[in-house]
Amino acid sequence: MTTTHDAKDGAVHIERQPDHIQSDMYEKPEVEAPVAEYVEGSIEEKRLVRKIDIHLLPMLWIMYVLNYLDRTNIGNAKVGADHGGFEGDWNLSSADYSLILSIFFVGYLLWEVPSNMMLARSKPSIFLPTIMFIWGAMSIGAKGMHSLGGMVAFRFVLGLVEAGFFPGVMLLMSCWYKPHELSKRIALFYTASLVAGAFGGLLSFGIMDGLEGKGNTRGWQWLFIIEGLITVVVACAAFFVLPNYPTTTKWLSEDEKRLATARLLAVQREGAEEEPHMGHWMAFKLACKDPKTWVFVLIYNLFNMVGTISYFFPTLLGSMGYKGNMRQLMTVPIYVVALIISVTLGFVADKTRQKAYVVAGGATLATISFIIVAAVPNNQVKYAFLCFGGGGVWTCVPVFLSWMVTMFDGREKRAVCIALINGFGNTASIYGSFFWPKHTAPKYIMGFSLTTAFSGVALITVLAAKYFFGDKGVARTS
């Protein structure tokens, strides 16, 4: 970028957008007129950020609710045949069900990087709704599944399709917000998974119990069909609602486009020089050579492993004396507490601009809480600290993601890094599900020991990453 300074009024004239900004927008921006020097925290900037929030976050939040429901409804669809589930239909063994769960993440990992490479060369307003429409249509097609093989194939392809959604959202948000604005917004975005987790079971129960056998269709098939229909409708709306990038968005005025660009350029000037436009292979090689990629892969894998405890909340609550539907209902406060803690600390992370330390704080809370749950015999105390432990875990993940997406220069390299971190990080969901075997009930010492250990290692690794890499992707030199 070249700039000229008017000695008379002090204005900074942007004559040409730099390569990385033009690359990000993929259309020649209409930002040629003089623009006043950028001043952080101005009334105009605050008004712009509010406008971005209103146009971007609600749709992404709704899309993620449906994404999370679609990914996790398999557990609700499995329940016994007398409740409309497929487990009894196909006489599944525990190994069969483990295959259905894990095959999703195989497809997810395989297509994570290629999917984000495609997003880096396409428009988010088309790419994200398209993959959402596809997975919704696939879910509607569940009516045609009549065997274990069909379900395994369905879950594998579903993993391929959904692989690009979450990292694609992270990439899109990183192109709209400054680093210190991301934590609270990703925390708010991540509440979609908590809301889906809290109420997904109740929704599934209502659909499966109310529609079982109607239209010669099983309850679990109705669950997939109805959630798929909702997903398709929202995907169609998203085509018209989601923006692309600041300089090519119609609901921004020309002055707002200039300001949106200038504030991102100001952040770039404070940090490392952005890398020029590059090809897929070069971006992949640079991502793999960057040690930050693999450190963050490790951290995210550890946090996701700790997070697999959520799959077993009803089981753990059963060991605390809760029976029947109360095991499902008592999971709701866990997610509510987690939502409050994660959003609050997300705001703290942005206010203090110390994301790594907030992540470390969340890991510390989770570690201490799970030790207490395992060690204390009182069920009320166990339940309380299970809530706090969940709050610690779900603080770590969104704040970590908001930290991670700002650590890599160059949009195409950043896209690959996000995909690698998200893909390999989610492999924890494969092996983490084996840490809570039935024979370790009722204390589940094995599961809590491993969860505590992984959380502690994550804490140490986060502090090490903070020391060597800082909070803006610039390596420590002293």
Asked if 240 contacts 250 with a C-beta cutoff of 8 angstroms, the reply is: no
> Domain ends where: 250, 267, 297?
250
Q: Does residue 408 belong to any structural domain of this protein? A: yes
My answer on whether 234 and 294 are in the same domain is no
Number of domains in the chain: 2
How far is it, in rounded angstroms, from Cα 247 to Cα 263? 12
Separation CA 473–CA 271 (nearest Å): 8
Do 160 and 288 have their domain in common?
no
CA distances to 119, 299, 407, 457 from 470, rounded to whole Å, are 28, 15, 9, 19
Q: Both 405 and 443 in a single domain?
A: yes
Alpha carbon distance 207, 226 (integer Å) = 8
Q: What three-state secondary structure class fits 75?
A: helix
Same domain, 229 and 183: yes
Mean pLDDT score, 40-45: 87
Q: With CA atoms as reference, report the closest residue to 473 among 201, 313, 274.
A: 274
Q: Are residues 317 and 415 both part of a single domain?
A: yes
pLDDT at 2 over 60: no
What is the spatial distance between Cα 460 and Cα 282, in angstroms, rounded to a whole number?
32
Q: At 452, which amino acid appears?
A: T
Number of neighbouring beta carbons within 10 Å of residue 445: 10
* The pLDDT of residue 28: 40
Residue 106 lies in a domain: yes
Instruction: Give the CATH number of the domain where residue 349 resides.
Output: 1.20.1250.20
- pLDDT score for 31: 41
pLDDT digits over 147-177, tens only?
A: 889 999 999 999 999 988 988 898 888 889 9
Residue 34 has a pLDDT of 40
Could you give the CA distance from residue 355 to residue 93 in angstroms, rounded to a whole number? 43
Please tell me the distance from the alpha carbon of residue 114 to that of residue 110, in angstroms, as a whole number.
Answer: 8
On whether residue 23 sits in a domain, the answer given is no
If asked whether residues 219 and 327 sit together in one domain, one would say no
Residues 236 and 297 in one domain: no
For the chain, how many residues are written?
Answer: 478
Residue 263 in any domain: the answer is no
Give the angle 392-397-399 at the CA atoms, nearest 5°: 95
Q: Which of 48-52, 215-219, 394-398 has the lowest mean pLDDT?
A: 215-219
Is 29 within a domain?
no
Model confidence at 79, in pLDDT bands (50, 70, 90)? low
Cis peptide before 377 (omega within 30 of 0): no
Tell me if residue 150 falls in helix, strand or coil.
helix
Same domain, 325 and 243: no
Tell me which H or E stretch contains 4: strand 3-5
Is the pLDDT confidence value at 19 over 60? no
- The share of the chain scoring above pLDDT 90, in percent, equals 34
pLDDT band at 460 (very low <50, low <70, confident <90, very high): very high
Q: Is 376 left (phi over 0), alpha (psi -120 to 50) or beta?
A: beta
Domain that holds residue 145: 43-250
Is 375 found in the same domain as 228?
A: no
- pLDDT for residue 96: 82
pTM for this predicted structure: 0.76
For 306, the token pair is: 């700790």
Same domain, 305 and 206: no
Cβ atoms of 90 and 251 closer than 8 Å: no
Residue 125 phi, psi dihedral angles, 5° rounding: -65, -15
Same domain, yes or no: 303 and 233? no
* Exposed e or buried b per residue across 368-382, where buried means at least 16 C-beta atoms within 10 angstroms of its C-beta: bbbbbbbeeeeeeeb
CA distances from 285 to 163, 288, 404 (A): 20, 5, 18
Looking at residue 163, its amino acid is A
d(CA 140, CA 183): 35
Q: Identify whether 271 is part of a domain.
A: no
Token pair in block for residue 441: 């009930």
pLDDT tens-digit map of 296-334? 999 999 999 998 888 778 778 888 888 766 776 788 888
- At 30 the pLDDT is 42
Distance (Å, rounded) from C-alpha 142 to C-alpha 67?
A: 16
